Amino acid sequence: MPTIVDTTFYKNKKSMNFYFALGFLLIVILGTLGLYFYNSNVIRTTSELESEISRIEKSIDEVQSDPLVTIYNVYSQNKKLLDTKALESQIPLFVSHLKKNFIKYWVEAKGFAYTWGEITTSLSNQTTDNGYAFEKVVRFLREYPQDEKALFDINMIESFEGYDRIWYETTFVLR
């Protein structure tokens, strides 16, 4: 007696694999088409942006060729240096500022030298009814550098001389 094998199972399985393969092929084709159109859109957008960038760069070159813009660029690159030099050249302002503060702290000045933002001068304080000379020196050296309106910092003072009148030389450095 011959054996009969049921082949419907294999036929159903075979047709299922075929449909899975066909579905996967369809997904791959749709994905490829989608990527193709996306790539075309990216290339078109990129070329539009490149033409816009080239137009803007041309406009920038036209603006930068203007002599006033060139002068402003040079000024803006050197603004800090120019501002520093402008401040350093205000010697009358420095003298009046120091005179005002010397009166405030009972300081007498003798001589004046200005070089590159530094003022060197000989100072003295005299013992009077307003206080002892050393107290005036200490008050001046302590309070002036802490004043918000002070234009200068005081370098270290190396030596003092005197008793009722104290002499000392100092250098004021522009802030």
Predicted pLDDT of residue 62: 86
pLDDT per position as a tens digit, 160-171: 888 889 999 999
**Count of other CB atoms within 10 angstroms of residue 105:** 16
Give the model's confidence band at 39: pLDDT under 50 very low, under 70 low, under 90 confident, else very high.
Answer: very high
Structure confidence by residue, pLDDT tens digits, 106-149: 899 988 888 877 889 999 999 888 888 888 888 988 999 898 88
Domain ranges of the chain: 8-71, 90-174
Contacts with 117 (C-beta within 8 Å, 6 or more apart), sequence order = 84, 88, 173, 174
> 90 phi and psi, to 5 degrees?
-95, 60
User: Is residue 61 pLDDT above 80, yes or no?
Assistant: yes
Which residues make Cβ contacts (< 8 Å) with residue 152, sequence separation at least 6? 94, 98, 119, 172, 173, 174, 175
State what percent of residues in the chain have pLDDT above 70: 93
Mean predicted confidence (pLDDT) in 16-28: 87
144 near 136, Cβ under 8 Å?
A: no
For 24-151, strand residue ranges (E) read 108-115, 118-126
More confident residue, 172 or 130: 172
In this model, does residue 34 exceed pLDDT 90?
yes
CA distance 48 to 42: 10
pLDDT at res. 38: 96
CA angle 100, 103, 104 (to 5 degrees): 85
| Domain at 90-174, CATH homologous superfamily | General secretion pathway protein M, EpsM (3.30.1360.100)
Share the mean pLDDT of the chain: 86
pTM: 0.49
